[in-house]
Structure 1
Amino acid sequence: MTDLTHAHAVSLSTVPNLRDLGGWTTADGRRVRSGLVFRSTELHRLAGDDLTKFDALGITAVYDLRTVAERSAAPDPALPGVVEVPLDVLADSSTAIPARLNEVVADPAAVAAASEALGGGKAAELMEGTYRQILTLPSAHAAYHRLFSALAEPVQPGAALFHCTTGKDRTGWAAATFLSVLGVGRDEVFEDYLLTNDELIPALHPVFAAFQAAGGDPEVLKPILGVQRNYLEGAFEEMTAQFGDIEGYFRDGLGLDPAVPEALRKRYLDE
């Protein structure tokens, strides 16, 4: 039995920021079914008792939103009965910060030199720019097309999980659009999104400490390793400007048939 630190969170020490996207209520009073779709950080540290807890979630498909370099540096473990599907959201971007987060974790001394360049709000500006970029990158459109197609019509029974490196940006947008297309209100979508600051940041205390010990300003890391409301707001603003609404984004941005949102609602909402 997994321990819950929040109504939606699953407490695994080796996989922080893991939570169930079920349980949220839609504007018309329906509820997102629990135990079917999860979001998390990368899984390469999954071990010990956490393997048993993870197996109990019934996950049979993992959608990895990381770049080729990220997957090579920290590959997910091969799990029995689990299909791994790589979906490189940022393949068409060489500048997006989320794809370079492992540099911060692996070599804080090298990144410490960037403290001045990223201070004064610059890091937050770069992060918000990345979110808007996700709405325009062909690789992002292709990745999310495949993700939502697969969620709408799973090839095998069981639950699904999607993740990136820290489970907050590429994963955050996937979760926000998944909940939005189901009809969950914007306030609840932001609530799920901002839970990352509670579920992830405490697990990254050693990273902040190492960065500071190397001469860096830990305040610089907060907008990079956490989430801010304006990041997701910027993405939604870009979506509205380009596609009108969530239905338009699925149809015109991701190139999905209108039957896909309907299939998602049928599969993941209780009547």
Structure 2
Amino acid sequence: MLPSPSDTVPSPPELPELGSVDNLRDVAGSGEGYPTRDGGRVRRGVFYRANLLRPDDDDLALLTGLGLRVVHDLRRADEVAAHPDRELPGAEWRHVDVLGVAADDALGFTTPEESRRMMEAVYRDFVHRPSVRDALARVLRDLASDPLPQLFHCTAGKDRTGWVAVLLLHLAGVEEPTIRADYLLSNERTAASRARYERMIVEGLGEQMLPVLEPVLVVTDDYLDLALGEVAATYSDLDGYLRDGLGLPDDVLDALRERLVAA
């Protein structure tokens, strides 16, 4: 039997936007949490999402104050080696390789179309690549059973992290337009870090590379629609994908819903 969620997890104050971890967010959204189809709310202070976890000292203090128990790093091994997470006191760090891409993977490209095709492959992998499905299943199992609160992240916190958040919000019963808006919010939240990376591109590679690499730096409706279309074609819907694609049994899915939804 999986542990039931703790109803004593305090509802935290609103998270400020952190300069050093600019895509840190509560999966539940802000305020009272995202509404669900049955009149509930997604419970805040349970699951957090983020981009690269290298906070400065001030932001480290805020992150420590969240009381995180587990941090799931969804990046590739080479990404972790190049930019390891900063240790968060009290949190167990776990590496779960969900593959994905980095902007550096597109350095040899000469057209935006090449970068876009690479990103589309990432979203197809969420649905079709067995190792990626296994990694996603492991993350969701741990989110369902390990001590709360927990955080998951990748490099920009937009694709691998974004897909996990889509699955969680779907399980909670959040309406699709809200899930989509939350997914696209990464473009707004990562504006500062994306601007820094764009300056590095211009300085190191030349201004002509900005449009070539832009598809790697953002999320789009098209990326999400591609993944959801592959899910529909292969598993009928996200419920089928979670059950048959990721192999998650009912007790895990029920435990996640119980943790996610506040009546």
> Which 5+ residue runs of structure 2 have no aligned equivalent?
1-11
**SS in structure 2 of the partner of residue 38 of structure 1:** strand
Q: How far has the Cα of 1:189 moved from its partner?
A: 0.7
Q: Distance in 2 between matches of 1:264 and 1:100?
A: 30
> Which 5+ residue runs of structure 1 have no aligned equivalent?
91-97, 105-109
User: What is the aligned-residue RMSD (CA, Å)?
Assistant: 1.9
Q: How far has the Cα of 1:71 moved from its partner?
A: 0.9
Q: Distance in 2 between matches of 1:12 and 1:124?
A: 29
Q: Distance in 2 between matches of 1:66 and 1:79?
A: 17
- The 5 A counterparts of 1:85-100 are 85-90=94-99, 98-100=100-102
**Which residue matches 2:4?**
none
Q: Distance in 2 between matches of 1:201 and 1:3?
A: 23
Structure 2 residue corresponding to 1:38, chosen from 20, 33, 48 = 48
Structure 1 window deviating more from structure 2 (127-136 vs 167-176): it is 127-136
Structure 1 residue corresponding to 2:171, chosen from 181, 187, 209 = 181
**Which residue matches 2:67?**
58
**Which residue matches 1:238?**
230
Is 1:211 the counterpart of 2:201 in the alignment? yes
Question: Are the structure 2 counterparts of residues 3 and 257 from structure 1 closer, same or farther at C-alpha, using a change threshold of 3 Å?
Answer: closer
Q: Distance in 2 between matches of 1:202 and 1:76?
A: 19
**SS in structure 2 of the partner of residue 195 of structure 1:** helix
> Which string of whole-angstrom CA distances, capped at 9 and with x for unpartnered residues, describes residues 208-267 of structure 1?
123223323322232111111110111111111111122211111111111222111112
Kept in 2, the 8 Å contact 1:17–1:199? The answer is yes
Question: Are the structure 2 counterparts of residues 67 and 197 from structure 1 closer, same or farther at C-alpha, using a change threshold of 3 Å?
Answer: same
Is 1:195 the counterpart of 2:185 in the alignment? yes
Runs ≥4 in structure 1, deviation > 4 angstroms? Answer: none
Tell me the percent identity: 38
**SS in structure 1 of the partner of residue 215 of structure 2:** helix
> Which string of whole-angstrom CA distances, capped at 9 and with x for unpartnered residues, describes residues 30-52 of structure 1?
10000111111121x21211111
Question: What is the aligned length?
Answer: 246
Q: Distance in 1 between matches of 2:197 and 2:13?
A: 25
**Which residue matches 1:259?**
251
**Which residue matches 2:36?**
26
Structure 1 residue corresponding to 2:158, chosen from 165, 168, 183 = 168
**Which residue matches 1:13?**
19
Kept in 2, the 8 Å contact 1:182–1:261? The answer is no
**Which residue matches 1:72?**
81
Question: Are the structure 2 counterparts of residues 203 and 100 from structure 1 closer, same or farther at C-alpha, using a change threshold of 3 Å?
Answer: closer
> Which string of whole-angstrom CA distances, capped at 9 and with x for unpartnered residues, describes residues 166-200 of structure 1?
11111111011111111111101111100011000
